[in-house]
Amino acid sequence: MGKVITLFKLLPKLHQMLLCGLVFVTLIIILMPSDDVQASKQTPSASGEYDVNTRYDVPLAFRKPTPPSASLSESNPSQRTHSEPLSQSREPNKKQALAEAADKPEIQKTTAPKLKEKHFQVKSGDTLAAIFERVGLTAKDVYDVTQLPKAKKNLLKIMPGDDLVIAKTPDGKLAQLTYHLDKITTLIVTHNDSGYKEQIVTKKVEARSKFASATIENNFWNAGVNAGLTPNQIMQLATIFGWDIDFALDLRKGDQFAMIFEEEYADGEFLKNGNILAAEFTNQGDRYTAVRYKDGNYYSEEGRSMRKAFLRSPVDFKYVSSSFNPRRLHPVTGQVKAHRGVDYVAAVGTPIKAAGNGRVIKSSYNKYNGNYVFIKHNDTYTTKYLHLTKRKVKTGQSVKQGQIIGTLGSTGRVTGPHLHYEFIVNGVHRNPRTIKLPKSEPIAKKEKAQFATLSKTMMAELEHNKQLQIAAQ
């Protein structure tokens, strides 16, 4: 660049001006949108289907609109180069192109007659070659198609139940092959005079938000199912509030939850559930809230991290039997007894999690505790896990919160399988389900304002939906 400027300065004044003018005009020509670009716009048929032998434009950065329900995959730069030269090659000869367009007004439209498509469901033991043979195509066609990298990768491992759509020309040649890679992405191989080409078409995924709520009658799981939640969503909800609520032992009749979650759709078809966006849980009169932020983490409506130093329960609620008996009989003595820990009655083999990060100070066996693990979290906190069937950690080992440290059992002095869990603060046994723990981290200062706005909107939305539901009852 420096050299160019130096050379430019050496030129006579008149030449300099001429050169500047030339550069300016050239720029104008390059930057002006061409009529061809406008004329070649095409959208798929109203049904959203793609017509065979119709050329759809790749959405370039400056070009709109794209087909309403579909956009070409961004991760397919090779496809862009297929259509770009078509538009660009006409640009230098705009006048001629326009003249041709006047002679043949249909020039940009489909020139070939509509082809007949055949749908094939892949059967057990099917190969691409077998399907091609059934439709009257040759081994050479199989070879040619699988020279394309994406076709090779996907078509050579077609699975029973997959759907292949094959369109042939009137003279029996392969014109187009369509293969759905999943609910939103489709591989399309087309054949024309210049050979085979492939492209990946991706449907636009639309997120819709949905509301669900329930009052717990006898069991959180059933309440979730009755509210229309999937097992996965029920577990997600329990995970979000798992630092505040012991879902195994603390739930009571009358507890309530409400949540807003995402559902993903493509072309009006349900794909899958997305994230929980906001939720509220009222447990024994205490209300907890959670809002999902763009960092993927959950914060209370005031902007404190849901993540805390300790999980309320080292056992997933789904393994624990009968949650609604606060006056549980002690599995050893058969009496209601205040003892120094919490007992979780569940099946032998139930995974037991470390309540917090820390170091295993003891992983051992004796005749009272059976297999037991003690974890020291810091100078203040220690947790103890007794009667395990198996220990999965060794003395001295570091553990992460939620890490499986062993499995529930009935070793030691017990009458039935259970986990005896102790929570010790400064050497004193405390109730892990009720103890007030240090407040969790607030959201980063620079995110605070943005989160507050989001939180306000989401909580208002939640409240609005709750009111609507009450009104509908």
Q: Which residues of this chain interact with Zn ion, rule CB under 5 A?
A: 341, 343, 420
Give min distance, CB of 341 to Zn ion, in A. Answer: 5
Taking phi first (over 0 means left), then psi (-120 to 50 degrees means alpha), and beta for anything else, what does residue 427 get? left
Quote the CA–CA distance of 465 and 258 in Å, as a whole number: 9
Per-residue tokens: 261: 């979650």
Q: Cβ closer to Zn ion: 41 or 339? A: 339
Query: What is the DSSP track for 55-97?
Result: PPPP--TT--PPPTTEEE-TT-HHHHHHHHHHHHHHGGGHHHH
Structural contact between residues 101 and 39, judged by C-beta atoms closer than 8 angstroms: yes
Q: Cβ closer to Zn ion: 341 or 409? A: 341
Give min distance, CB of 407 to Zn ion, in A. Answer: 17
Quote the CA–CA distance of 400 and 377 in Å, as a whole number: 10
Give min distance, CB of 436 to Zn ion, in A. Answer: 23
Quote the CA–CA distance of 366 and 240 in Å, as a whole number: 36
Give min distance, CB of 454 to Zn ion, in A. Answer: 43
Q: How many helices (H) and strands (E) does the chain have?
A: 11, 21
Q: In residues, how long is the chain?
A: 473
Q: Cβ closer to Zn ion: 280 or 343? A: 343
Question: What angle (nearest 5°) sits at the alpha carbon of residue 304, between those of residues 208 and 300?
Answer: 40
Structural contact between residues 182 and 159, judged by C-beta atoms closer than 8 angstroms: no
Quote the CA–CA distance of 313 and 352 in Å, as a whole number: 9
Give min distance, CB of 420 to Zn ion, in A. Answer: 3
Give min distance, CB of 215 to Zn ion, in A. Answer: 31
Give min distance, CB of 432 to Zn ion, in A. Answer: 12
Quote the CA–CA distance of 357 and 377 in Å, as a whole number: 6
Quote the CA–CA distance of 38 and 35 in Å, as a whole number: 5
Quote the CA–CA distance of 325 and 154 in Å, as a whole number: 55
Give min distance, CB of 375 to Zn ion, in A. Answer: 17
Give min distance, CB of 368 to Zn ion, in A. Answer: 11
With the CA atoms of 171, 173, 176 and 180 taken in that order, what torsion angle do they form, in degrees rounded to the nearest 10?
120
Give which of 147, 189, 187, 192 is closest to 169, Cα–Cα: 192
Quote the CA–CA distance of 110 and 172 in Å, as a whole number: 19
DSSP assigned state of 362: E
Residue in the structure block whose two tokens are 């080292």? 314
Structural contact between residues 432 and 315, judged by C-beta atoms closer than 8 angstroms: no
Residue in the structure block whose two tokens are 């049904």? 47
Q: Cβ closer to Zn ion: 413 or 448? A: 413
DSSP assigned state of 409: B
Give min distance, CB of 358 to Zn ion, in A. Answer: 21
